[in-house]
Amino acid sequence: MSNVNITKEEIDAILPKVAEIIADALGCDLEEVQPTASLITDLGGESIDFLDIVFRLEREFKVKIPRGKIVEDARGPLAEAEFEKGGVVTPEGETRLREFLSEVPADRLKSPIKSAEIPKLFTVETFAKMIIREQRAASGA
């Protein structure tokens, strides 16, 4: 499913609650939790925090988010071998990431992108979009 259909209004509708949950989980000030803030780079989160955040978001928004879902969605239709080679995202993979993570400031999507670094790209808005996609999937939209 493409991000193209996710509207700013949909994101704005849930962003305050998503930001509140992330601030609470990471123990940071709500003012710091801006839509483009990277959970790892800007807010000091670690990948282990993602599990806690996802759990809290699932509970709050009544959705189920499988582990690895964002990375899997980011890869989209590309096979793993097309998306990354030797731990580095391929040019096709980078194009796909830029589309999928359109909320990530472009200067953070510099080549080469290591696959292990992809979670560092995730922003507060990335999580909001994930919830919207899961809500749509659950409702069959």
pLDDT greater at residue 140 or residue 46: 46
Reported as a pLDDT band with limits 50, 70 and 90, residue 4 is: low
- Domain range holding 7? 3-139
Q: What is the pLDDT of residue 138?
A: 86
Q: Distance of CA 54 to CAs 47, 91, 114, 116, Å?
A: 11, 29, 23, 19
Residue 47: pLDDT over 90 = no
Backbone angle region of 62, left / alpha / beta, with phi > 0 → left and psi within -120 to 50 → alpha: left
**pLDDT-above-70 percentage for the chain:** 96
Q: What is the pLDDT of residue 5?
A: 83
CATH assignment of the domain containing 77: 1.10.1200.10
Chain-centre distance of CA 82, in angstroms? 21
Residue 1: pLDDT over 50 = no
Count of domains forming the chain = 1
Evaluate whether 67 touches 50 at the Cβ level (below 8 Å): no
